[in-house]
Amino acid sequence: MSETLTMAKALNRGLRRALQADPKVLLAGEDIGKLGGVFRITEGLQAEFGENRVVDSPLAESGIIGTAVGLAMRGYRPVVEIQFDGFVFPGFSQIVTQVAKMHMRTGGHTAMPMVIRIPFGGGIGAIEHHSESPEAYFAHTPGLKVVACSNANDAYWMIQQAIQSDDPVVFLEPKRRYHVKGAVNFTARPAPMHQAQVSRYGTDATLLCYGPMVKTCLDAAAVAAEEGTSLEVVDLRTLSPLDWVTIESSARRTKRAIVVHEAPKTLGVGAEIAAKLHEDLFYVMESPVLRVAGYDMPYPPSRVEEEYLPGVDRILDAVDRSLAY
């Protein structure tokens, strides 16, 4: 059985199913109860499950994360929402010093089954601190799983998989894709959360992307096809751990790779992917691995954000440079 839903509705359905399946699952965050969150991801859930399981928290990210740590230690599965990506930093210390390390610190005796939902990325015309891409901070931190859904079907299944995980998961949601519709299959066996997927097969070069950039890369591949260039698009889905089997398999086929993400280029996720591909496939690749990313600057005002964000033209320019080698 399948249904066409926006990503926002798919996340809502996934959270509802998780709450129904396990009484130890609870949600917490600013304005997620009666309001349903600023993006309405949790709309209707407090009315259905009550104020003790869908909790309107104080305006204090460090308190939200710290409380969730205690709940996870007591056997609950808290799912906390950070209202906007740029607001995660008051809770950053809790995430990297407590959430990420508790399992190892206790010699494996204390699990940390919690999910930290973060709407991330730009493209919505927002003000400062509302369009960040902080994924590299978390992917760099051992002990955290970092995932990024890109479509409605993945959103529905991956949020449930994240909640079922006994390890802490930073769950990144591309906010400018919340209202993009897609088919959600409620019965088909979902792909493993940490497995990348080939969204479009091609032969000339591979575009490696995640979250909001998947649609942009698919758009670029469609334009390239009209010009006779066949691009493969790989949706990474998980940034930690990365699915190197799928990544390297695609790069071996096309012998060229371009990594695309919104976050600044320097020391970003794309840098790690490029480095490992060069280490492992140096004698296979026919051109250097290129990166198309946000610029190394604070996120700009909304009037010029489209100049900052990677778009189809910048991606195709990188493809041309890769093919020219």
> What is the tens place of the pLDDT at every residue in 226-248?
999 999 999 999 999 999 999 99
Among 109, 129, 130, 194, the one annotated catalytic: 130
261 carries an active-site annotation: no
Domains of the chain by residue range: 2-185, 197-324
Task: Give me the pLDDT at residue 171, please.
Answer: 98
Q: What is the dihedral of CA 190, 191, 193, 194, to 10 degrees?
A: 170
Across the range 257-272, mean pLDDT stands at 98
Neighbours of 1 (CB within 10 A): 7
* Position 105 pLDDT exceeds 90: yes
Q: What was the pLDDT predicted at 1?
A: 85
Domain 197-324: give its CATH code: 3.40.50.920
In this chain, the answer to whether the domains covering 2-185 and 197-324 adopt an identical fold is yes
**Residue 22 in this model has a pLDDT that exceeds 90:** yes
Residues 170, 149: contact at Cβ < 8 Å? no
Q: Which two tokens stand for residue 29?
A: 């965050």
CA angle 223, 229, 232 (to 5 degrees): 85
CA 128 – CA 113 distance, rounded (Å): 31
Q: Which residues contact 226 (CB under 8 A, 6 or more apart)?
A: none
Q: What is the pLDDT of residue 164?
A: 98
Cβ atoms of 239 and 139 within 8 Å: the answer is yes
What tens digit of pLDDT does each residue of 114-125 get? 999 999 999 999
Give all strands of the β-sheet with 205-209 in edge-to-edge order: 197-200, 231-235, 205-209, 257-264, 290-294
pLDDT in tens, 213-224: 999 999 999 999
Round to whole Å and give the CA distance between 208 and 229: 16
- Mean pLDDT value across residues 192-208: 98
| Widest distance between CA atoms in the chain | 60
Over residues 87-100, the pLDDT tens digits come to 999 999 999 999 99
The pLDDT assigned to 133 comes to: 98
Q: Rounded distance, CA 47 to CA 42, Å?
A: 10
Tell me which residue has tokens 């305006």.
59
Q: Please provide the CATH number assigned to the domain covering 2-185.
A: 3.40.50.970
What percent of the chain lies above the pLDDT cut of 70? Answer: 100
Q: Please state, as a whole number, how many other Cβ atoms lie within 10 Å of the Cβ of residue 140.
A: 15
Residues 280-289: tens digit of each pLDDT: 999 999 999 9
State the pLDDT at residue 325.
Answer: 87
Edge-to-edge strand list for the sheet holding 145-148: 54-56, 25-29, 77-81, 115-120, 169-174, 145-148, 238-240
Question: Comparing C-alpha atoms, which of 135, 130, 176, 90 is closest to residue 300?
Answer: 130
Q: What angle do CA 194, 182, 36 make, to 5 degrees?
A: 85
Calculate the CA dihedral of residues 207, 209, 214, 218 and round it to 10 degrees: 0
